[in-house]
Structure 1
């Protein structure tokens, strides 16, 4: 049971979830943003694992991905605050 918790979903699975959410009639922005964060995080970690063989363009791409992830996290926190205000 504990072993199942350690397995992290793949990028392919996150992309699948993202496409499923986009196909919904009324997609949930919070879920889309969280899935984007997971995809971006996985791509960053894959690049960082191979940092020794990365070119300067790869490092620039990682920097852009980190900035994108930071913006996504900020938008997720704003969406959560809005959701709390709507419930109140």
Structure 2
């Protein structure tokens, strides 16, 4: 049972986290985007595991999910840069 500790959280759990974050008064966009990436990644993995039984529509959906995931990762990168920039503006370097 030692390996059970290292399993990735399920889609259901990620959806729960997403809903909890949405319910917050000031939802954090970075956390929402990261959770969306995890959900999308799990859905892609599930589809790819069943690739033999996939239809053409399923493959098109996987392609859209991959594009969506790429867009989310780009968005997360931008949010991180913006947060870093705002943090550096709030804490200017000390002058000796």
Whole-Å Cα distance in 2 between the matches of residues 79 and 18 of structure 1?
Answer: 17
1:26 and 1:38 map into 2 onto residues whose CA distance is 21
Larger radius of gyration: 2
Q: Are 1:27 and 2:27 counterparts?
A: yes
Show the counterpart of 1:52. Answer: 52
Determine the C-alpha separation between the residues in 1 that align with 2:22 and 2:83: 20
Gaps of 5+ in 2: 89-96
Consecutive unaligned residues of structure 1, counting only runs of 5 or more, are: none
* RMSD, aligned α-carbons: 0.8
> Counterpart of 2:17?
17
CA distance, structure 1, for counterparts of residue 11 and residue 53 of structure 2? 21
